[in-house]
Structure 1
């Protein structure tokens, strides 16, 4: 049996956390590996086992808490576990309660894990382009502060996501970002006419730094370019596959 891949960040040393890839699960076919997506067409029993394995690899004995992610900027404080069927529609979650494993699902979007060790507050955010420009990282920081965290003490890590070299967008996409801030042009590299490559990871790091986070690590792992290690929505779309798996990032307090 293959153990799950767990990618960790030195910025979060001392905090139970991990960005998991697709290895180490029991799914088969196009979902092969550690698919944790409740919304995928994979077997519910198989997904539940994969979620159990992922949680045990990061915070043994903890209860996994995830969201119904909608590419928003909404963040919620989690004070007690909730049933999967009652997951809030949001894209970031925060807790100061030991024994809860906060989980964010991705398949090209950027997972962000955060911690204020001194306050004992952790957070996790799902930053696709919509959530990123909408301010999901700002929302998770504000919600952490509500539980006693201090922004200048928060450390953050940005996990596996689609990289600039793999993320072609059209001119209208670029204009959404440059209308918000003309300096956002630096996150794009022009390619063929009317298109550019977008650096989602760098943009998320920029938003965190601009919001006052002093310690940030980006893992620099491209989900699209590494099918052996990661699921990718865009890669599955380009291959004409009918569905795709999701990986998970987890953080919690022991």
Structure 2
């Protein structure tokens, strides 16, 4: 039901988890731990799933704060619970307040959790290709710094997202990445169809490593390939299904 990383487990007063799709109350295409308020799933079921996710991660029994994610580089400092009926349009959340549980929703995009245990600052970022290219990870770290975090003390983890073997992109797709840095060509592998396979997790990890953080971890799960464990937008698209569930990744201070 939950993926954790040892490096976070060793941090004092930090609780986290990359939730799978298992262990919830939803059914049908949302089976079973769908935590997306933007889906057509029954709202009561979504809130129950979110409560289960926080319990699994060992977080306090308090509302989960998530944003209306728009694939941007916008980041919000959260100092009080967010109104989940009017969510802010951002893709990164950071806080230093104990009991403020942060979450990001994904279904192939990269969930990134960050923590500076010494400063008592945590962050959560939604990093699809567009947001990652636009700088959402850098902006999340900068926002954490405004709360007293230091880069050399920040641990970051890139959670389950679409894997390179599942992520075929067109011939034009690599251009903005390579224009940003020629070294980004290493995240694209040519395939037999003369298209490319993109390593989203590798790209996100490299962006974080360039910030000289204390540690960067990649869980390595492919959300598109592991159907029993994860929701996937790409898999939904290939099948022509009407909607898809979202798994949640959570972090907070206790």
| 2:135 aligned residue | 135
CA apart distance, 1:11: 2.0
> Could you state the TM-score of these two structures normalised by the residue count of structure 2?
0.96
| 1:176 aligned residue | 176
| 1: CA distance, partners of 2:83 / 2:55 | 19
| 2: CA distance, partners of 1:124 / 1:10 | 17
CA apart distance, 1:192: 3.2
| Matched positions, count | 250
| 2: CA distance, partners of 1:41 / 1:62 | 24
Q: Judge conservation of contact 2:122–2:252 (CA < 8 Å) in 1.
A: yes
Q: Judge conservation of contact 2:160–2:219 (CA < 8 Å) in 1.
A: yes
CA apart distance, 1:24: 0.4
| 2: CA distance, partners of 1:142 / 1:223 | 28
| 2: CA distance, partners of 1:80 / 1:167 | 37
CA apart distance, 1:86: 2.4
| 1:115 aligned residue | 115
| 1: CA distance, partners of 2:77 / 2:220 | 28
CA apart distance, 1:180: 1.4
| 2:197 aligned residue | 197
- 1:44 lines up with 2:40 in the alignment: no
The one of 5, 17, 37 equivalent to 1:9 is 5
SS at structure 2 position matched to 1:156: strand
Q: Judge conservation of contact 2:75–2:93 (CA < 8 Å) in 1.
A: yes
RMSD: 0.9
| 2: CA distance, partners of 1:252 / 1:200 | 25
CA apart distance, 1:51: 1.0
Q: Judge conservation of contact 2:51–2:61 (CA < 8 Å) in 1.
A: no
CA apart distance, 1:242: 0.8
> Could you state the TM-score of these two structures normalised by the residue count of structure 1?
0.96
CA apart distance, 1:193: 4.2
Q: How does 1:212-227 map to 2 (within 5 A)?
A: 212-227=212-227
SS at structure 1 position matched to 2:143: helix
Which runs of 5 or more structure 1 residues have no equivalent in the other structure?
none
| 2:98 aligned residue | 98
Q: Judge conservation of contact 1:11–1:216 (CA < 8 Å) in 2.
A: no
- 1:57 lines up with 2:64 in the alignment: no
Runs of 4+ in 1 over 3 A off after TM superposition: none
